[in-house]
Structure 1
Amino acid sequence: MKALLISILIMATTSTLTSFTMPKGDAVQEVKQALEGQIEAWNKGDLEKAMTFYWNSPEMLWISKSGTEKGYQEVYDMFLQDFTDRSKMGVYTYEPLHIEQVSKEAVYFVFRWKIELDGKRLMGGVSSQVWKKVNGRWVVTSEHAS
């Protein structure tokens, strides 16, 4: 009962916030820096480097309106097919909406994103990512992009 009351209080409090406040903590800051590194690589047209921020495992999961892809190589191949011409990758920007450390080695990050090319929006939406510390570095193990 006490846990339920605390959960309701937290939801009521957070639903009234008008702006996003970044939580403090090393893991949260490290994941935010990792996402910045991924976006920097993307904006340079370096898909290979941008992909290094995903977990190189057959268990890596990508979820979109088209369905799911499982496996690093399958997701990488999907990106290679969609962005054969690196000049069409555009400029990726994001706005954090929610981030929380869910365990010692896992962070949940939700953000609004968009990709623009020549000032025109190519795509965008909201993504939720699960970042885990694997072999000493933070990588996305699951992403839902919509």
Structure 2
Amino acid sequence: MTDAITEVKEALDGQVDAWNRGELEKAMTYYWNSPDMLWISRNGTETGYQEVLDGFQKDFTNRSKMGVYTYEPLHIEQVSAEAVYYVYHWKIDLQGKKLMGGVSSQLWKKLDGRWVITTEHAS
């Protein structure tokens, strides 16, 4: 396994850990803080880090609404020296019941020395 793949796996684990501690803003630091960051869901597309953060803050107003995030890797590949494509099955449980879940595909890029999600399709 390449260092890039290992680093991206560790980054996603860091994001999930922050989410499960109720640290939404910390979890968001794993996304590219740019107006060009792309979020794709069954509702369409959203462009921009701030827009995505605003949507998450609206949907998850406090820790009690965030639930517990888990995932299972389905596919990961390094597509260039500084880009990794990661696909996984995810779910968020709230009080022991599935709140939401599906499959996510993320494009991670190494920018300014750290791995960040530049594009995510979650559905």
TM-score (norm 2): 0.99
- Which one has a bigger Cα radius of gyration? 1
**Alignment-derived partner of residue 95 in structure 2:** 118
- The answer to whether structure 1 residue 26 and structure 2 residue 3 are counterparts is yes
Superposed CA deviations along residues 67-114 of structure 1, whole A, max 9, x for unmatched, are: 000000000000000001221100000000000000000000000000
More helix by share: 1
Higher relative contact order (CA 8 A, sep 6+): 2
Task: List runs of 5+ in structure 1 lacking aligned partners.
Answer: 1-23
**Structure-1-length-normalised TM-score:** 0.84
Whole-Å separation in 2 of the counterparts to 1:117 and 1:75: 21
Structure 1 range deviating more: 101-110 or 79-88: 79-88
Identity of aligned residues (%): 74
5+ long unaligned stretches in structure 2: none
Q: Deviations over 1:20-66 (max 9, x none)?
A: xxxx1100000000000000000000000000000000000000000
Letter in 1 for 2:62: D
The one-letter code of the counterpart of 2:30 is F
Number of equivalences: 123
In the alignment, structure 1 residue 71 sits paired with structure 2 residue 48: yes
TM alignment of 1:1-146, pairs within 5 A:
24-146=1-123
By percentage of residues, which structure has more strand? 2
How large is the Cα RMSD of the aligned pairs? 0.4
